[in-house]
A and B are shown apart, each in its own frame.
Chain A
Amino acid sequence: MSTPTTNAGPQFYEQTWDLSYKHALGETTSRFLGALTEGKILGRRCPECERVLVPARSFCDRDHCATTDWVEVGTTGVIEMFTVVYEPFKNLPAPPYALAYATLEGADTALVGYVRGLDLSDQRTAVAALAVGTPVVVRFSDDPTGTAADYWFEPAAGSN
């Protein structure tokens, strides 16, 4: 028996995880997504704290009780927080894109979505146009896919 004398250097094993899932979204989320095709944003009211939770949830995270009523909220609101992404991340969309949480008229919690309809190429002007408190309107896809990608926000006319 002879001892190998060649140092082959570090070896590597490459792998890709390609896993598929089909998640059931349940009755509440399904109804919210269905309403998007009619141009409506739905919330659920908590009987304890009386908050209208948007997006619609079947129970209140604060009171741990079931929500009771469906509430259609408005399609105008204000930006609570935002970011503009300029860095590419593997398997995520190509930048730049803007994301925001906006509280809609009649809702007590904020909804997350893309913000479209503004030029993101200049960082300074993009950030100024998205400042906390900026009014936005919800737009709906003409070609809905039954997902939360069927709506997005745009700065309300005249808000710039």
Chain B
Amino acid sequence: MFAQASWDSIGRRPVRFLSSPAPWRALSYLGASWVVGAVVVVTVTSVVAVGVATWETSVGPAFTASLGLVALACMAIAAAPFERWRLRLIGAPLAAPERSGGVRARLREPAGRREFGYALVSLLALWWVDLGIASVALVIPGLLISAPLQPTAPLWMAVVLPLVGVVLLPVALFLIAAWAGVRATMTRAVLSPREAELIEVVRSRARLVDAFETERRRIERDLHDGAQQRLVALSMKLGLASLDLPPGSPAARQVREAHEMARAALSDLRELIRGVHPHVLTERGLPAAVRDIAGRSPIPVDVDVELAGRLPTAVEVTAYFVVCEALTNVAKHSGAQRCAVRGRVADGLLALEVRDGGAGGADPEAGTGLTGLVDRLAVLDGRMLLSSPIGGPTLLRVEIPCPASE
């Protein structure tokens, strides 16, 4: 991952870059290496001084060596938080990892060992490089600009060299910002938690989706067993009442209207329930559910979904919503006359394809629908591939790992 702020600013037009705070932030970021350098130099000097003073005594060398190691360890422990802190100077903050236990525990984790190693490199080498690049980049234009101050400089040099220096100054700032960008990128790459360390987060997201799905089912059942039954009973009562009323009477008309309303409410409710959770999916599995959606689609859909058995529930639900969304998009946007859904499981991977011969130009960035699908798929480690050139045809392919069927 790049330290975006610094890199992006370099990509801007030079004038905008130079008038922005970016060069100064980069300079302050590299300049912070003075602190590291000062600490290192003072510590090394002190240790050497102690060493020289005590070398002749019996415990001297051992004492100096342990003092040196302790000092190095202290600096290494402090260096990583410092590196993390100074990323803010360049506008690329990195959250500190959650500490679990003390230094020993940290060193047992890969992230902790990485952090320690990077701290050592930073103490031994990187601060030199930072200061070296910043100094060289600034000192050369500085010297050129100060040429007229040299008593021995001939007139032409006193005129030309400062001009060259002024031209080189922005170049120096670019160089500084570029190195600061590289340096920050490196720091982030080493100090960010790795993907494997993020698994727990993904798992909790999956649990959240599961909980959401369970809740949807509960709502669906409640609507079926509660509201829908009551409305059917109401509708039946109204129907019976209208039988006993004299036809054409005002009361009969009112009851008939009420009956119509109850009927419309039932029909709305039925659609609502289907949207909350597709019953056919739970009971008959993905192929039947896909046929069911295809049957409702305003344009003809050729369904070819063949699976050996039931898939894990999460996979079925996600695949179902993918097909729903895809067919809705085809009907709404593509202008296609026909489309096809194909689904197969091979090598533990469910591959679903929705293909249409419409106008193409589907853009995942444009709407929330496709983005939502990508998010849902991410929970299951699935991925979405889309080919939709302007003028068509469009092919949406979704792959979801499904290790073992339930």
- B is bound to A: no
